[in-house]
Amino acid sequence: MKVSGLTAALLLGATGALASATPKVGKVSYDGYKAYRIATSGKDAAAIKDKLASFAAVQFNFDTQEHLDVAIAPEEVSAFEALSLPTTIMSEDLGAEIATEGNFGVYEKNVSTSAAVPSLTWFDAYHAYADHITFFNDLAASFPQNSEIFTVGSSFQGRSIFGIHLWGSGGKGSKPAVYFHGTVHAREWITAKVVEYITYKLLVDYSTDTAVKAILDKYDFYILPFVNPDGFVYTQSTNRLWRKNRQTRSGASCVGTDVNRNWPYKWELTGGASTNPCDETYKGAAAGDTPENKALTNFTLSLANSKGIKLYIDWHSYGQYILTPYGYNCQARPANQARQNALAQGLANKIREKYGTRFTYGPACSTLYATTGDSTDYITDVAKAEFAWTIELRPGGSSSGNNGFVLPAAQILPSSVEQWEGMKYLLANV
């Protein structure tokens, strides 16, 4: 994959000095960091990466054919600007945006209902991890006829990897699975919010909206908002831009394995992941050797072996993509490719209808880049899901004022609503 072409210094900047090293005290500060989108104009960005070799740049994206998004430390901003690269500014001060985003909401219940339904104000702000757990517990307690909390195992640091199971009139576990993973990459905060909104709407609207009732009566939903809880907690305590899990390994000075490069399928291929524990896409020492991947694989197979998986979505950010299989090979296509493409196109159209947000769709490897050991390839070929997609949420492609992983809280609700509109279309047509 394109990340393999990075210079060692840039990798160190991206994953060693800032991301992977454990700070001695306090939080990693991004105060005064400026984030830039550098146009790479269809080249592989190698020349630009060479120019950045001496900078402690934090790299955001790996699909560098069109652009390379980087954050530059305040002391290096003038040297960076002296390079006169073709840039647009994503963020004038990443630290200030992280601080604003960190004004977490206060958890509230809906006062107009007697049950403990969380308030829609949940979608006006980001929240602490503990409040996310309360949100799900309260939702499940409010709708005991249609939902329950479950756990699939534990993370490296011993947190439970939990989900919420939703079902309709056929009763618990009677229908094919619709299966969601959120927050596999710790810094992609918008993903938990969007799956929370979809969960909320499925439960709250079930009794009043016939289209929603039809969907929940047809499928069992298994929604895991935080498949990498240790990483997420670390983004809130220590480093907002952390990506991987928090697994330590003997002999490795860097922490963390990319849970989306560790699934035990095509893991052994080269070119779609890193073998360096200090890299953001570190694949692990063996296929499926993280506690998170072990738990998720077992649970996935249990779904496959009961009623089967109709649709799996791995929710990520950012870039606004709907990615169909495969990641491991840019020529390979699933047997139902024509339907995958038609439904992805329909989904993109539906999302765009709401607020004009454009999502690009297509096979993951050829549309974005190659990945080995990713969830969607495993869930397509091993767990035999009919559809297993990655959705990369807002922000998107070419506009400036694009904050990468730190999506302003004002966009939580519109991001969620457009995906909800999309999911209603997809689930009615899949």
421 is catalytic: no
Min dist CB 314 to ligand 0X9, Å, is 7
Instruction: Name the residue with the smallest CB distance to ligand 0X9.
Output: 327
For position 323 contacting ligand 0X9 by CB under 6 A, the verdict is: yes
Residue 159 partner contact from Zn ion, ligand 0X9, none using kind-dependent CB cut-offs of 5 to 8 Å: none
Print burial letters for 210-230: b (CB count within 10 Å at least 16), e (below 16).
eebbebbebbbbbbbbbbbbb
| 337-355 helix and 412-429 helix, angle to the nearest 10 degrees | 140
CA 221 to chain centre: 18
For position 185 contacting ligand 0X9 by CB under 6 A, the verdict is: yes
Token reading at 61: 């994206």
Separation of alpha carbons 216 and 206, rounded Å = 7
Token reading at 336: 């139902």
Residues lying near Zn ion in the complex (CB under 5 A) are found at 185, 188, 316
Residue 368 partner contact from Zn ion, ligand 0X9, none using kind-dependent CB cut-offs of 5 to 8 Å: ligand 0X9
R_g over Cα of the chain: 21
DSSP category for residue 120: G
Q: For residue 88, give the nearest of 406, 398, 405, 408 by alpha carbon.
A: 398
Please identify, using beta-carbon distances, which residue of 142 and 402 lies nearer to Zn ion.
Answer: 402
Which residue in the set 223, 295, 365, 379 belongs to the binding site for ligand 0X9 (CB under 6 A)?
365
Residue range at the interface with ligand 0X9 (CB under 6 A); choices 7-15, 25-33, 369-377, 416-424: 369-377
Min dist CB 261 to Zn ion, Å, is 11
Which residue in the set 38, 71, 203, 368 belongs to the binding site for ligand 0X9 (CB under 6 A)?
368
Please identify, using beta-carbon distances, which residue of 220 and 374 lies nearer to ligand 0X9.
Answer: 374
Positions 39 through 68 that interact with ligand 0X9 (CB under 6 A): 62
Give residue 95's identity as a one-letter amino acid code: G
Please identify, using beta-carbon distances, which residue of 203 and 323 lies nearer to Zn ion.
Answer: 323
Separation of alpha carbons 119 and 316, rounded Å = 25
Spell out the residues 6+ positions from residue 416 whose beta carbon is closer than 8 angstroms to its own: 123, 193, 194, 196, 197, 198
DSSP category for residue 282: B
What are residue 71's phi and psi, to 5 degrees? Answer: -110, 135
For position 390 contacting ligand 0X9 by CB under 6 A, the verdict is: yes
Please identify, using beta-carbon distances, which residue of 163 and 182 lies nearer to ligand 0X9.
Answer: 182
Please identify, using beta-carbon distances, which residue of 314 and 418 lies nearer to Zn ion.
Answer: 314
Token reading at 221: 């939903």
For position 374 contacting ligand 0X9 by CB under 6 A, the verdict is: yes
DSSP category for residue 274: B
For position 327 contacting ligand 0X9 by CB under 6 A, the verdict is: yes
Please identify, using beta-carbon distances, which residue of 203 and 379 lies nearer to ligand 0X9.
Answer: 379
DSSP category for residue 121: G
Please identify, using beta-carbon distances, which residue of 138 and 188 lies nearer to ligand 0X9.
Answer: 188
Which residue in the set 135, 136, 167, 369 belongs to the binding site for ligand 0X9 (CB under 6 A)?
369
Strand pairing category for 58-59 and 67-72: antiparallel
Residue 167 partner contact from Zn ion, ligand 0X9, none using kind-dependent CB cut-offs of 5 to 8 Å: none
Min dist CB 167 to Zn ion, Å, is 28
Min dist CB 187 to Zn ion, Å, is 8
Min dist CB 393 to Zn ion, Å, is 10
Q: For residue 244, give the nearest of 276, 222, 286 by alpha carbon.
A: 276
Residue 364 partner contact from Zn ion, ligand 0X9, none using kind-dependent CB cut-offs of 5 to 8 Å: ligand 0X9
Complete DSSP assignment for 352-374: HHHH----EEEEHHHHT---SS-
The residues pairing with 94 across neighbouring beta strands, listed in sequence order, are none
Q: What is the dihedral of CA 220, 222, 223, 228, to 10 degrees?
A: -170
By the 8 A CB rule, do 108 and 118 touch? Answer: yes
Q: Which listed residue (188, 196, 392, 418) is catalytic?
A: 392
Residue range at the interface with ligand 0X9 (CB under 6 A); choices 202-210, 223-231, 284-292, 367-375: 367-375
Min dist CB 187 to ligand 0X9, Å, is 9
Spell out the residues 6+ positions from residue 356 whose beta carbon is closer than 8 angstroms to its own: none
Residue 371 partner contact from ligand 0X9, Zn ion, none using kind-dependent CB cut-offs of 5 to 8 Å: ligand 0X9
| Residues with a known catalytic role | 392
Residues that bind ligand 0X9 (CB under 6 A): 62, 185, 188, 260, 316, 323, 327, 364-365, 368-371, 374, 390, 392
